[in-house]
Amino acid sequence: MELKKNPQADLSRNSGLYFVIGLTIVLFTTWRLLEHKTYESDKEYVNVLNVTDTMDEEVPITQTIRTTPPPPPPAAPDVIEVVEDMEEVEETIIESTESSQDKFVEDVIVSVDDVAVGEEEEEISVPFAVIEKVPVFPGCETLETEAERKACFNQKIQEHIQKNFNYPATALEMGISGRVFLQFEIGADGMVKNIRKRGPDRLLEEEAVRIIASLPQMKPGMQRGRPAKVGYSIPINFMMQ
């Protein structure tokens, strides 16, 4: 008796269809992998400006200059020869400068116009914390007390730094950050002079000097009724987040 197979149990009946479906899935996956593109994500930098308000005056470091001692005086000779002075010395007659009855008073009076008097003004440099009258920043002219003018000056300085602050692009790319200490003077003409800087990198120092150099002309500070140079110091923080 011949055995008959059940058509439902025939495993090779749909093998061609399964092969075509599998081949299609493999080709589709390969095509998607070949067409897949990747893009580099841009790094975002956030500039954070932190201006520290400090009034500490830094004392400059001085260096003691050591000078060489003077040479010893020459030694006296062993034998001293006595030379007789045979030459006659003419005595110099010194005339008296005192006035007498024969001399008029008008003859010895010197006219004030004939005397040239030279006045040398010494420019005074005073720290900002102890100046009698602080420099007046543009916009603070209406304030009356010195305490209000000092507070207004500090606030205007910080606003100026925040307005003109620009993080150097090269420093951002290199990841350079830190604090730059600045010292400068407001001269007797109200202009910023003698800017000194100290920071972790030249790029940050140049940016800090540029900000301070762009300060506007101010009304100069006064000490003992005369215009004086006023020293001011402030740190600027360059930070990245």
130 — pLDDT class (breaks 50, 70, 90): confident
Is residue 188 scored above 70 in pLDDT? Answer: yes
Q: What is the mean pLDDT of residues 177-188?
A: 91
pLDDT at position 129, please? Answer: 87
| Residue 47 to residue 129: CA distance in whole angstroms | 31
| Residue 179 to residue 232: CA distance in whole angstroms | 17
Query: Which of the residue ranges 28-37, 90-99, 207-216 has the most confident prediction, judged by mean pLDDT?
Result: 207-216
Is residue 180 scored above 60 in pLDDT? Answer: yes
Q: What are phi and psi of 146, to 5 degrees?
A: -70, -35
Q: 238 vs 95, 150, 204, 229, CA distance in Å?
A: 78, 25, 7, 29
Is residue 51 scored above 80 in pLDDT? Answer: no
Q: 57 vs 2, 23, 51, 198, 200, CA distance in Å?
A: 114, 81, 16, 15, 20
pLDDT at position 3, please? Answer: 56
DSSP one-letter code for 133: B
187, 220 contact by CB (below 8 A): yes
pLDDT at position 191, please? Answer: 92
Range with the lowest mean pLDDT among 18-22, 56-60, 64-68, 230-234? 56-60
